[in-house]
Amino acid sequence: MTEPSTNVKEHIPVRKILTAVVAVAFGLGLAACAPDDGPSTASGADATIDVGSLYEPQNLDNTGGGGQGVTEALNGNVYEGLFRLTDDGKVENLLVSDYSVSGDGLTYTFTLRSGVTFHSGKPLTAADAKYSLEKVIAPDSKSARKSSFGPIGGITAPGDSTLVVTLKTRSISFVYNLSYVWIVNAGNQSPTTTADGTGPYRLASWQRGATLSLSRFDGYWGTKASNKDVVFHYFTDASALNNALLTDQIDIITSEQSPDALDQFTANPAYRVNDGASTTKLLLAFNDRVAPFDNVKVRKAVYSAIDRKKLLESIWGPHGKLIGSMVPPSDPWYEDLTNANPYDIDLAKRLLAEAGHGGGFSFTLDTPNYDPHPIVATFLKSELAKVGITVTIKVISADEWYTKVFQKHDFVATLQEHVNDRDVVWYGNPDFYWGYDSPQVTRWVRQAEQAATADEQTALLKQANRQLAQDAASVWLYLYPQIVVASTRVSGYPVNGLNSQFYVYGITKREG
Amino acid sequence: MSRHRRSLVAGGILVGLTCAAALISLLWTPYPVSDTSGGRLAPVTAAHLLGTDRLGRDLATQLMVGARIALETGLGAVVVGGTLGVLVGIAAGFAQRWLDDGLAALLDIVIAFPTLLLAMLVVAARGASLGSAILALGLAMSAVVARLTRILVKRVLAQDFVTASLVSGTSWPRVVAEHVLPNIWPTLAVNLALQFGLAVLAEASLSYLGLGAPPPNQSWGRMLQEAQSTVLVAPAGLVAPGLALVVLVVGANLVADGLREVADPLARRSS
């Protein structure tokens, strides 16, 4: 037996040591169980592509109001339409092998591609296509494209591979609009939480708040995906997203929202910054139904009082683009209308005086609570103060915006981003939330839709667009940039952000 | 100078700095609050002591105006929470068994409810504004103050001279005014000073989340939020409001510390 020592270290009871050992072992065990967050080192056809995004879907159904994240992760990857809108805005056949239009333009007959199966193994039939289209136009559908299918008169599936749609009026955009319709398995009872599409990937798992994983579908009818798995990692904060790319947690950022963080990527040869075409417009949308914005002169005055160039530079630095209308350059009917309402404070004051508001007025701006809306609202308040207009900023949540502004039209003016392309036609609907009601524009939009040729359609929509700019139906503040930042290890990703879709099947990764 | 006095003086100076900034901002700021002429993210220069934000607004100006919002929220919450808390606490202190038990349980439930969550509920119901933030933080604070007041009141009521006073027929409002309040206020004051600091921090958190005073009111929390994406190119935007928060909250805590030692003779004797 040894003498008691005064050295404390020698007196650590065995039990404590055991506890420590167990704790360490437990910790190691946990660490081993934890999912591997880093990018896989596999390359080529076995690669896992880790994608970082700020837009987590709210659910997995594109007729269920799931947000732009649904399109980003699933459109073209898990679900496919009868047609595909390519990254450069062209429409091509996807699940149809061929289609024909009757002479009067009212009957469309689609022949479905053969040999296509859903991920569940069920073969694709015309009944599924019929069900999918009916789902989009159903009364409870929240699809943004629902109203554009108004001309549909009837949908039939006379054979397993034949779908016939009859229209009440001609609709030149019908095929284009079909590229938004996902063909889903009619038997899927819970499309908001499970996915059963025909795309090159099946949904492997969705951990809400963290990741959504896709795995290559080996039974895919077309060219198989160039990578094995794709994991979308979701972030709520742009800085955290950038850090994830810098620390190799992800390979690619779908849409950079923090221009000041770009320097660290442009200066580093390990990353590539891609400035693509975007269709996302930031709007100061008036409620054109209510005073004072029912007056064209007041709207034009507000438009001319805002230095859009300075705003764009403030928010996006050298990125992004000024637009003078709802139409982005990637739409066929784009025209540069940035000078239709020039930045001119004297003109703004003159218009206000002519409208009987020489002493200025006040209005409340319903401002969504997420970036960049609050800071944009602050800028507008400061700009409009220069012409005597007082803005009260009311910050509201996205849900509140949907019910208060979009559904009830209970607002005077609001800020909102509109992500879709070819959406100028919404100004032809007087019941839309902004309440622009010009019978002339409504007629042009309707005639354009019923046009026999694309040229005719383009000419009519250009005319409508010029009128919208003349009337300052809304203030189109700027077009967002679409910046994809990626590690130079990966290639083959889409760089344009049309409708926020992000096709991942062509992405490859090399070792290094 | 004794330790408690040093705490009081140091705390007073720190809180005083914030008060001075807030008061001066009422009369003068380097630039008008919504002046966007400074250029995007201008560096720290003599013209812009802390640089500018993305819109070109002077950050020193925003910091001074933010001081006003921080103090308004802190004081407002203390007034709301203090008044409500002391009233409920005294009621509970005097109450009979079942009412006392009920109130105590209710207070425990409110205290267990996270302050930020409570604040978010209030904001959801009333809309985001400085008033909502003050109300929410005041409500959360009132439970803490009420619980403390209840204990203090019970302790005072157990004293012989209070019993004597009650037995001799003194009405209870008079007992509150003559015996209870004079005996509990020193401890309450310490607690309210601490709660003030917590309220300032909570308001910054709310504003950071976009639930505080709506723009263009530049709360320090909102400044932190807006500077977050530009921290690599313009760190002053993040450091300045952060430091300002530290100064005010540490100041409030030092004042509380000093007050505690003034209020508690035992602590004073041993220091």
Q: Which residues of chain B make contact with A370, given a CB cutoff of 8 A?
A: 210
Q: Give the amino acid at B171.
A: S
Q: Which residues of chain B make contact with A395, given a CB cutoff of 8 A?
A: 127-128, 210, 214-215
Whether residue B37 is predicted with pLDDT greater than 90 in this model: the reply is no
- Taking the CA of residue A512 and the nearest CA in chain B, the distance in Å comes to 28
pLDDT at A512: 64
Interchain contact A381–B (C-beta under 8 A): yes
- Taking the CA of residue B212 and the nearest CA in chain A, the distance in Å comes to 10
Q: Would you call A128 helix, strand, or coil by DSSP?
A: helix
* Structure token digits, residue A344: 């001119």
Q: In whole angstroms, what is the distance from residue B76 CA to residue B132 CA?
A: 11
pLDDT at A238: 83
* Structure token digits, residue A122: 């069920």
DSSP string covering A90-121, please? -EEESSEEEEEE-TTS-EEEEEEPTT-B-TTS
Cβ atoms within 10 Å of A27's Cβ, excluding its own = 10
Q: In whole angstroms, what is the distance from residue A273 CA to residue A488 CA?
A: 10
> What chain A residue is nearest to B37 in terms of C-alpha separation?
A310
Q: Which residues of chain B make contact with A258, given a CB cutoff of 8 A?
A: 229
Domain spans in chain A, listed from the N-terminal domain onward: 31-35+46-77+199-276+483-509, 83-178, 281-479
Interchain contact A268–B (C-beta under 8 A): no
> What chain A residue is nearest to B38 in terms of C-alpha separation?
A314
8 Å CB contact of A261 and B232: yes
Whether residue B271 is predicted with pLDDT greater than 50 in this model: the reply is no
Q: Which residues of chain A make contact with B55, given a CB cutoff of 8 A?
A: 314, 375, 378-379, 382
8 Å CB contact of A378 and B34: yes
Query: In degrees, to the nearest 5, what angle opens at C-alpha B192 toward C-alphas B190 and B193?
Result: 65
Evaluate whether B252 touches B11 at the Cβ level (below 8 Å).
Answer: yes
> Residue A163's closest CA among A187, A118, A120, A133?
A133
8 Å CB contact of B229 and A395: no
Distance of CA B257 to the CA centre of its chain: 15
Q: Which residues of chain B make contact with A390, given a CB cutoff of 8 A?
A: none
Q: In whole angstroms, what is the distance from residue A387 CA to residue A382 CA?
A: 10
Cβ atoms within 10 Å of B29's Cβ, excluding its own = 18
Q: Which residues of B touch A (CB under 8 A)?
A: 34-36, 40-41, 54-56, 124, 127-128, 210-211, 214-216, 222, 226, 228-234
Q: Give per-residue burial for A329-338: e unless 16+ CB within 10 Å, then b.
A: ebbebbbebb
- Taking the CA of residue B24 and the nearest CA in chain A, the distance in Å comes to 22
Whether residue B263 is predicted with pLDDT greater than 70 in this model: the reply is yes
Q: Would you call A362 helix, strand, or coil by DSSP?
A: strand
Q: Which residues of chain B make contact with A317, given a CB cutoff of 8 A?
A: 40
Decide if domain A83-178 falls under CATH 3.40.50.1470.
Answer: no
8 Å CB contact of A263 and B230: no
For residues A204 and B36, the model is more confident at A204
Q: In whole angstroms, what is the distance from residue A44 CA to residue A225 CA?
A: 11
pLDDT at A20: 52
Q: Which residues of chain B make contact with A410, given a CB cutoff of 8 A?
A: none
pLDDT at B266: 56
Q: Which residues of chain A make contact with B230, given a CB cutoff of 8 A?
A: 260
8 Å CB contact of A239 and B233: no
Cβ atoms within 10 Å of A289's Cβ, excluding its own = 15
Evaluate whether B28 touches B60 at the Cβ level (below 8 Å).
Answer: no
For A413, phi then psi, to 5°, come to -155, 155
- The CA-atom distances, in angstroms, between A270 and each of A43, A274, A276, B116 are 17, 13, 19, 41
Q: In whole angstroms, what is the distance from residue B120 CA to residue B125 CA?
A: 9
Q: In whole angstroms, what is the distance from residue B219 CA to residue B201 CA?
A: 11
> Residue A242's closest CA among A52, A68, A55?
A52
Q: Which residues of chain A make contact with B127, given a CB cutoff of 8 A?
A: 394-396
Tell me the CATH number for domain A281-479.
3.10.105.10
8 Å CB contact of A374 and B232: no
- Taking the CA of residue A502 and the nearest CA in chain B, the distance in Å comes to 24
> What chain B residue is nearest to A374 in terms of C-alpha separation?
B215
pLDDT at A41: 59
Q: Would you call B36 helix, strand, or coil by DSSP?
A: coil
Query: How high is the mean pLDDT in each 10-residue block of chain A (512 residues)?
Result: 37 48 49 46 83 91 81 94 90 96 95 96 96 92 84 94 95 92 92 92 94 96 95 89 93 89 89 91 96 96 97 92 93 94 96 94 93 91 95 89 93 93 92 95 95 94 96 96 94 87 94 70
8 Å CB contact of B214 and A374: yes
pLDDT at B149: 94
First to last CA, chain A: 60
Average pLDDT value for residue range B15-29 = 95
Name the residue among A263, A375, A394 with its Cβ closest to that of B55.
A375
Question: Helices B130-157 and B59-94, interaxial angle, to 10°?
Answer: 40
pTM of the model: 0.81
Question: Helices B97-112 and B130-157, interaxial angle, to 10°?
Answer: 140
Whether residue B254 is predicted with pLDDT greater than 50 in this model: the reply is yes
Q: In whole angstroms, what is the distance from residue A185 CA to residue A123 CA?
A: 9
8 Å CB contact of B34 and A239: no
Choose from B31, B33, B36 for mutation: most chain A CBs within 10 A: B36
Q: Give the amino acid at A509.
A: K
Q: In whole angstroms, what is the distance from residue B46 CA to residue B27 CA?
A: 21
- Taking the CA of residue A313 and the nearest CA in chain B, the distance in Å comes to 8
8 Å CB contact of A382 and B35: yes
Q: In whole angstroms, what is the distance from residue A414 CA to residue A286 CA?
A: 6
8 Å CB contact of A264 and B228: no
8 Å CB contact of A394 and B210: no
Question: What residues contact A278, with CB distance under 8 A and at least 6 apart?
Answer: A328, A479, A480, A481, A482, A496, A497
Q: Which residues of chain B make contact with A385, given a CB cutoff of 8 A?
A: 34
Decide if domain A31-35+46-77+199-276+483-509 falls under CATH 3.30.470.20.
Answer: no
8 Å CB contact of A260 and B229: yes
Cβ atoms within 10 Å of B169's Cβ, excluding its own = 6
Cβ atoms within 10 Å of B73's Cβ, excluding its own = 27
Interchain contact A313–B (C-beta under 8 A): yes
- Taking the CA of residue B128 and the nearest CA in chain A, the distance in Å comes to 6
Q: In whole angstroms, what is the distance from residue B224 CA to residue B241 CA?
A: 6
- Condensed to tens digits (0 to 9), the pLDDT of residues A139-148 reads 888 887 788 8
Name the residue among B210, B233, B234 with its Cβ closest to that of A395.
B210
8 Å CB contact of B230 and A367: no
- The CA-atom distances, in angstroms, between B145 and each of A65, B178, B187 are 45, 20, 11
Evaluate whether A145 touches A65 at the Cβ level (below 8 Å).
Answer: no
Question: Is A281-479 the same fold as A31-35+46-77+199-276+483-509?
Answer: no
DSSP state of A465: H
User: Residue B265: which pLDDT band, with cuts at 50, 70 and 90?
Assistant: low
> What chain B residue is nearest to A257 in terms of C-alpha separation?
B229
Q: Would you call B51 helix, strand, or coil by DSSP?
A: coil
